[in-house]
Each structure stands twice: as C-alpha cells, then as structure tokens.
C-alpha cells in the first residue's frame, strides 16, 4: 500500500479530485488556488463566490519562537494570498484554533490580534469559528470566503505560448522572517486583472519552479526562465537555487501577452513604485521548465519546492 511520503502532496490531490463529488454550481473545483462557485442569482454583477481554507501548524509553518501576533498574521495572510492569486476580493473568515490548555490567555488573544490586523487591512470580517483543545502542536485553520467577477477572475490554466512570465518582488530566503510578515498582493492582483494584463496567475507558496509547474500543467504548456532575470532576495544570500525553490515568498507569478509587457512595466512603475516587477521568462510550446544562462545554454529544472509529504519535509 502506497504512503503519502511516496505519492507526495500533488499525488494526493490528484487522487482526491477523482474521489470527491463536484456538485452543481461549481465553476472551479479542486486544483486551483480557490474554489469558485455560482451563488444566488449569479451574485451581484455576476460575481462568483470564492472559498479557501488554509492551515498553519506549529513546528511546520512557524517555530515556537514566533510571536503570537506573527502566528495570527501568517495564518490569515496565507489564505488571503490565495484569494489574491484568483484576483478576488476577500470578504469573510472563520477561524478554527487547536490550542493547548496551558497557553496563557494573553498569548491566544494576541494570535487573534495578529489575524485581525491583516484581516482589517483588506476589509475582511472574522465572523466566527471554533476553538478545540489539542495535546500536540498549536494549529490554526482559516476558512475564507470572497468574491470575484466572472471576467476578472484568473486561473492557473490561462497561459498561452509566447506569454511573458512575471513575478512581483524578490524571491528566496523567506525563512529569515518574511514568511511571518509578508503582505498578500490583493491590491496588485486586482489592479492587474482590471487592466487585462493577466492570463494565468498563482501565488508563490511552494517555490517558483514548483508553482510555475502548476501553471504549466494546467495550461498544457512549458516555460523557459532566464538566469540573469530571477530576482533574488537579499535574505537568500545570492543563491539562485533558493530563489527557485525556497517557497513562502507569497509573491504573484503570472503570465501576460508578450505584446503588453512593456506597457505593463510602465504602468506598474507608476502604480506600485515601491514593489518591483520582473519579467523572468516566456511560456513555450515544449513541455517542462528550462533555465537558460547568459551563454544561451539551457537545462531542465525539476520541481523541488515544498511538499508536505516528501521525505525532506516529513
């Protein structure tokens, strides 16, 4: 009998896709950053309901030395980042917390203060949830609902051959602190979608190459990245490997028609002068992801980003 360690997180998701019922009104189900559903009479202005759950576990997503406010911020911000990846508007959240009975009350209140701070920044109401006792690690699970216009919503499956590939910010080394204090790119994603710049989009949570792989599979295309273009964060210590695979950057990765690339860059610099935007490659017809160096030589890249169930992360 196969184990989760053998099939990995992607293999498990593929099996669950075949196992679970889809139901009526489902526009996007398992396999993208959020589920998208028709609700009511199509929702205001034909909007879709976005649903997302995300969890953080002590010892996996944060260490015991993390402050309670950092823990709460990260738990909520992770789910918000997935709403951003769909160019959605986050609205309501439910929080389930697994808490040890010996935790100080102030510590727990500060976790919720951290969640409330990032929720308030993006107009999210925390409307309920559940608290349960755990004898093991502290954990938090966020159920987040939002909205997306039918025309504005972006999926992983929209990339086309010849598209330019872009990322916001810089990549790698998030373990140095960014993973506890990042800002979800909600505003930037909505701006991109409103102006029609995005064909496919995802947030970088499991590593650049791994998440680009999701886009390529769903879009049935390949990609070629340029070594000199990858924006390496200072915290990555100049390591290209870390920029490609560390994960938890929570930046946007998206494709746009090549003809719009220069116009996008000019408009972006006016709208978001403090956040960098970098073209890192192009979408190709040949499947797989390749990395080209300054001499024109290229090599295949393997998706070695984060996986909850592989041996290196067990």
**Domain layout of the chain by residue ranges:** 4-148, 156-313
Q: Find the mean pLDDT for residues 206-212.
A: 96
Predicted pLDDT of residue 22: 76
Q: Is the confidence at residue 239, as pLDDT, over 60?
A: yes
Predicted pLDDT of residue 307: 60
Q: Is the confidence at residue 312, as pLDDT, over 70?
A: no
156-313 adopts what CATH topology? Phosphoribosyl-aminoimidazole Synthetase; Chain A, domain 2 (3.90.650)
With a CB cutoff of 8 Å and minimum separation 6, the contacts of 228 are 293, 294
The secondary structure element, H or E, covering residue 125 is: strand 125-133
Q: List pLDDT tens digits, range 182-204.
A: 999 999 999 999 999 999 999 99
Q: List pLDDT tens digits, range 55-96.
A: 999 999 999 999 999 999 999 999 999 999 999 999 999 999
Q: How far apart are CA 289 and CA 301, in angstroms?
A: 6
Q: List pLDDT tens digits, range 273-282.
A: 999 999 999 9
Q: Is the confidence at residue 114, as pLDDT, over 80?
A: yes
Provide the pLDDT confidence category of residue 107 given band limits of 50, 70 and 90. very high
Provide the pLDDT confidence category of residue 17 given band limits of 50, 70 and 90. confident
What CATH number was assigned to the domain covering residues 4-148?
Answer: 3.30.1330.10
User: Which DSSP category does 312 fall into?
Assistant: G
The whole-angstrom distance between residue 230's C-alpha and the CA centroid of its chain comes to: 18
Q: Is the confidence at residue 309, as pLDDT, over 70?
A: no
Put simply, whether the predicted model's pTM sits higher than 0.85 gets the answer yes
User: Which among 2, 142, 156 has a CA at the least distance from the CA of 73?
Assistant: 142
Predicted pLDDT of residue 314: 32
Q: List pLDDT tens digits, range 128-185.
A: 999 999 999 999 999 999 999 888 899 999 999 999 999 999 999 999 999 999 999 9
Q: Could you tell me if 55 and 139 are in contact, meaning their C-beta atoms sit under 8 angstroms apart? A: yes
Q: Find the mean pLDDT for residues 20-47.
A: 76
Q: Is the confidence at residue 313, as pLDDT, over 50?
A: no
Q: How far apart are CA 43 and CA 148, in angstroms?
A: 10
């Amino acid at each position: 009998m196969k184990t989760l360690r053998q099939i990995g997180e992607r293999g498990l998701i593929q099996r669950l896709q075949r196992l679970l019922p889809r139901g009526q009104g489902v526009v996007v189900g398992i396999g993208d950053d959020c589920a998208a559903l028709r609700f009511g009479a199509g929702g205001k202005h034909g909007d879709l309901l976005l649903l997302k759950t995300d969890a953080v576990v002590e010892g996996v997503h944060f260490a015991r030395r993390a402050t309670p406010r950092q823990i709460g911020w990260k738990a909520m911000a992770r789910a918000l980042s997935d709403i951003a990846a769909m160019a959605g508007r986050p609205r309501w959240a439910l929080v389930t917390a697994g808490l040890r009975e010996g935790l100080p009350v102030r510590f727990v209140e500060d976790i919720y203060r951290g969640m409330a701070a990032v929720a308030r920044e993006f107009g999210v109401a925390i409307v309920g949830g559940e608290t349960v006792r755990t004898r093991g690690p502290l954990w938090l699970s966020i159920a987040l609902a939002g909205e997306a216009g039918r025309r504005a919503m972006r999926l992983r499956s929209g990339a086309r051959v010849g598209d330019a590939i872009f990322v916001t910010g810089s990549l790698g080394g998030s373990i140095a602190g960014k993973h506890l204090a990042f800002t979800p790119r909600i505003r930037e994603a909505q701006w991109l979608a409103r102006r029609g710049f995005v064909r496919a989009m995802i947030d970088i949570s499991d590593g650049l190459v791994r998440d680009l792989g999701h886009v390529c599979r769903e879009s049935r295309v390949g990609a070629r990245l340029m070594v000199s273009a990858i924006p390496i964060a200072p915290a990555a210590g100049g390591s290209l490997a870390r920029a490609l695979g560390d994960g938890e950057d929570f930046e946007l990765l998206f494709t746009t028609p090549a003809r719009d690339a220069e116009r996008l860059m000019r408009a972006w610099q006016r709208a978001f002068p403090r956040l960098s935007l970098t073209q890192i490659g192009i979408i190709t017809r040949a499947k797989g992801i390749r990395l080209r160096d300054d001499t024109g030589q290229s090599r295949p890249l393997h998706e070695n980003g984060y996986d909850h169930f592989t041996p290196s992360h067990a």
